[in-house]
Amino acid sequence: MPRLIFSSEAPAPVGPYSQAVECGNLIFISGQIALDKDTSEVIGSTLKEQTRAALKNLKAILTSQGLTSGSLVKTTVFLRDIGAFGDFNQIYQEELGDARPARSVVEVSGLPKNVLVEIEAVACR
pLDDT tens sequence across 68-123: 999 999 999 999 999 999 999 999 999 999 999 999 999 999 999 999 999 999 99
Query: Helix/strand/coil (H, E, C) string of the chain?
Result: CCEEECCCCCCCCCCCCCCEEEECCEEEEEEECCECCCCCCECCCCHHHHHHHHHHHHHHHHHHCCCCHHHEEEEEEEECCHHHHHHHHHHHHHHHCCCCCEEEEEECCCCHHHCCEEEEEEEEC
Please, which pLDDT band fits residue 66 given cuts at 50, 70 and 90? very high
Instruction: Answer yes or no: is pLDDT of 14 > 90.
Output: no
Q: What's the rounded mean pLDDT across residues 26-49?
A: 98
Answer whether CATH 3.20.20.70 is correct for domain 3-124. Answer: no
Domain ranges of the chain: 3-124
